[in-house]
Structure 1
Amino acid sequence: MDRDFECECWNEILSTEWIDGFSPLQLAAKKGRVDMVEVLLQAGASVDGIGAANIYSTLDHTIFELYQNLTDDHYQWESTLSFAVEGGLEMVKIILDTGIDANEPPHELEGRTALQKAAQVGDMAIVEYLLDKQADVNAAPAEWRGVTALQAAAINSHFDIAYRLLERGADPNAPGAEEERRTALEGAAEMGRIDMIHLLLDNGADISSADFGVVQFENSVELAQCDGFYAAARMLKRYRERLDTELGP
């Protein structure tokens, strides 16, 4: 690689405004800078780990100290592969080609797997690519404000992605995060997405079983009504009434 170009890349990296504890590799991946990512990988950048733990071996002591001073341990929640999703499909391919696990688990604080992130941002091409790379369609959410891939698609109103995930075996009744959670149906109801609600109900979203089904139904209706989506709330109630009639006493 041309030395001047490499130096230019390093200069841009080191002059970047540091935010949220991102490593240089994560910043480059997030910004879609294939050129910088290639330089960093050739220099020995590690794709493993979360945030500041993802520091690469070739940084000299001075740069490492600067890096430590400019990062915040409280915001190191994303893996490099998850950041790469924001950089586009080509970036995801580059990072996966390093041998990193497509199912790298999310950090417990609002982290995302790569598939969860792709479903959240609505990138169908990356979703398809990750599924073909055996990404777990039902990977568990992060403990705090986490989401499954289907929950991410439903909450963010990405109907086509939700449809595809269900085709590939996504569980419409997967539990949400331990804290600040939504199921896929609750997320769809909160957004007033009648089409998404229909899709989930037609694919087995539970609103009738004791405990989970009843709670999910009540939460979904309440969330829809609180945000003024009365048509969505009425549709859920009608669907529940029909189920009660079919199942009988």
Structure 2
Amino acid sequence: MWKTEEDFKESKQQKRKRNLNKRYSLDILAEVIIPICLFIAIRRTTTVCHLSVSREGLFVWKVFDLGQKKAKVDEFSLCGSMVSDEYEHLSSEALEAAHTCAKMYMVKSCGKDGFPIRVQFHPFHGILIYKMLSCTGAHGLSTGMRGAFGKPYGTGARVHIGQVIMSICTKVQNKEHVTEALYRAKFKFPGCQKIHISKKQGFTKFNADKFEDMVAEKCLIPDGCGVRYIPNCGPMDKWQALPS
């Protein structure tokens, strides 16, 4: 039988609906399901990451640990840090640009397995923007500051004076490369920052000159990239009864 114009219109409408359904399902798969699965896979490893939503509504994961993340605590003794010298807001894009810049330089100078990089805080603070409608010749479009709460624009981190922004651990002979990498990464941030070479052992809070002695006395137990501290005193319930 010959098809009429109405049959052709119905078939076109059905094809459009099918195409829209396919596009909608593919968009959900690409924008929601795949990023969440990758985020779960990344979190199962030792990588420190943060899932955020971009301005376009897409899921974006930010990685905050780079380099040799599985290095033991006694492998890299030297630690260089970038310390903030004023109150400031650092956006997630600036943090990502800074630690990527430092990583690229350290890979060229020390090798990809010769250092770990750690960003010491995450950008959990939401940033809002209030866009003013303005264009040439149209002075009546602006609504002033009425209802100026704003819309979500991104995420950032609030930094205080003396707070460590980024740290790099490496061997003692690579001290100049650490200072140069942090110096290059410093230009990605606003405000004033200082570069310090820490006296601590790696990312820990214990001094490097007393670290080996404390490990020998079993006050510290190496545990991956960190340590476990065993105090000499504690509650009486944990002490064994002395023999009579």
TM-score under structure 1 normalisation? 0.24
Which structure has greater helix proportion? 1
Compare CA radii of gyration and give the structure with the larger one: 2
TM-score under structure 2 normalisation? 0.24
Which structure has greater strand proportion? 2
